[in-house]
Amino acid sequence: MSILEILKYPDTFLKTKAKPVSNIDEGIKRLISDMVDTMYFAKGIGLAATQVGADKRVAVLDVPVKEDYQRGENLIVIINPDIAAHEGEIKYEEGCLSVPGFTADVKRFESITVRALDKDAKEIEIKAEGLLAIAMQHEIDHLDGMLFIDRLSKLKRNIIQRKIKKAIEDEKKRL
């Protein structure tokens, strides 16, 4: 078990468009395992490889869908994901492990179909709606070098960016 460092905005690596995985070898499997451990440690429901400094199109998700949810029962690994179809629109208050302490309403597709590979290199197709669809779009955005704040109006994005900049400056003064 390895807990990886989650990169925080404004780290420029978060703008990286991740490269497709061509071979699911032991290194990729170890990355997936470490990402799952890191996601649970950070109490997240999704994590993209770019958030832990890996330039690979890999994401892990574990979205609770019922009251008596047990951690791990909904674990999904998606490698080289692509949104093949989408419908509707929904607004949802999102947060992000890479932008801690901030949330905002983000418009997303209400339902999506994602095609990807699983950890065993098998092609999978996932039809998702609700929170799972939102989380998958959020993680795929990370793999495309986008944060949820990039989907906000310029005004809202600037407010969050200023608050983050001030928090960083305050932290530097304390050190």
**CATH placement of domain 12-174:** 3.90.45.10
| Banded model confidence at residue 32, pLDDT cuts 50, 70, 90 | very high
In the 8-state DSSP scheme, what is residue 41?
A: H
Answer whether 31's CB lies under 8 Å from 8's CB. Answer: no
Dist CA 84 CA 63 (whole Å): 21
pLDDT, tens digit (0-9, with 9 covering 90-100), for 128-175: 999 999 999 999 999 999 999 999 999 999 999 999 999 989 988 988
Say whether 110 is catalytic: no
Integer CA distances (angstroms), 65 to 71, 96, 131, in order:
11, 19, 8
Position 70 pLDDT exceeds 90: no
* Active-site option among 67, 93, 125, 139: 139
3-state secondary structure of 8: coil
Position 72 pLDDT exceeds 90: no
Q: Walk across the sheet containing 123-129 and list its strands.
A: 46-48, 58-62, 75-87, 111-117, 123-129
pLDDT, tens digit (0-9, with 9 covering 90-100), for 76-97: 999 999 999 999 999 999 999 9
Cα radius of gyration rounded to whole Å, the chain? 16
Summarize the confidence of residues 118-135 as an average pLDDT: 97
pLDDT, tens digit (0-9, with 9 covering 90-100), for 51-69: 999 999 999 999 987 778 8
The percent of residues above 90 in pLDDT, for the chain, comes to: 90
Across the chain, mean pLDDT equals 96
pLDDT, tens digit (0-9, with 9 covering 90-100), for 4-23: 999 999 999 999 999 999 99
pLDDT for the residue 69: 81
